[in-house]
Amino acid sequence: MLLYHVWVGPNGPSLLTSWALEPWQLVPAALLAFLYGKRTRTLRLRGTPVPAWRRFVFWTGFALVLVALVSPIDAFASEFFFMHMLQHVLIGDLAPLCFVVGLTGPVLQPLLRFHWVNSLRFLTHPAVALPLWAYNLVLWHIPFMYQAALHNPSVHAFEHICFFSYGALMWSPVVETLPGPEWFGTGFKLGYIALVRLFETAFGNVFLWSGTVFYPYYVQADPRWGITPLHDQALAGTVMMIEGSLVTVAALAWLFLRLAAEGELRQELLERGLDPRAVRRAVRYGRGQELSEPR
């Protein structure tokens, strides 16, 4: 890792002037951004542009990755567990969500032409994506694994790539860029989000209430700003739970509104005497309006 400091105080990095350059982590993000920009330009020239709001959300995700890896957050992550946790929720939760929302079927079409890529779509099944995400989260917080990442830049970069990748998998069944199982409708998505946040809340509480320091790396003889290792660990748990709560509230509000709209549309279509099976599938996959249009 290369660190560039405009000014560094005697006790460590400065809050506003420590900027980092980590090529091993930035190159994958830059490559994704380049491919996305190239593909969206191609679709625009063909007259089938990606909606502006999706492109905005995607680039917001890219900005979040830059903030996590380049800003002083990265410099302070080596001193404080709670700053490292902030970095991880940006990389492993918010940025992947934005990236997945920014994608569409036409954007992914060139990749899906490869058989081996198409064969990996099972990873986005909710019964697969959720356990994989949970396993990855636990694995990298085992003290041996977490400290290995702190001591080795290559392992650290791989850890961040894993957080981003499994975060994207976790969000894929909810956002559903590509059609998911028919049974996994909006109601099941509400339960899915609840399970994700229940697990994350339980995990955060371990850091919040534990009387044991899990990562000796953060134990300092002279704690900066008076933040003791246990206090630092509790702050990390708080960061995880606050971020999770805010995202959960937003996701549940969106899903509840969608559930209400789907119920209203479904009832309207059934009252018109349309086939219940066709109505259920059309509403489930967001094509209910096509049935409601007069022919």
Q: What is the pLDDT of residue 44?
A: 95
Q: Which residues contact 62 (CB under 8 A, 6 or more apart)?
A: 29, 32, 33, 95, 98, 99
* Cα–Cα distances in angstroms (integers) from residue 273 to residues 160, 276, 279, 286, 290, in the given order: 52, 8, 10, 19, 15
For the chain, which residues make up each domain, given as ranges? 2-292
Q: Give the tokens for residue 69.
A: 């890896």
DSSP class per residue in 146-211? HHHHHH-HHHHHHHHHHHHHHHHHHHHHHH-SS---TT--HHHHHHHHHHHHHHHHHHHHHHHH-S
Model pTM greater than 0.85? yes
Q: How high is the pLDDT of residue 75?
A: 84
Strand pairing class (8-9; 12-13): antiparallel
Q: Phi first, then psi: what are they for 125, rounded to 5°? A: -65, 135
Q: What confidence tens digit (pLDDT) does each residue in 181-215 have? A: 999 999 999 999 999 999 999 999 999 888 899 99
Give the pLDDT of residue 99: 96
By C-alpha distance, which of 59, 86, 31 is closest to 236?
86
Task: Give pLDDT, residue 19.
Answer: 62
The alpha carbon torsion through 29, 31, 35, 37 (nearest 10 deg) reads 60
Residues of the chain where predicted confidence (pLDDT) is lower than 70: 1-24, 221, 292-295
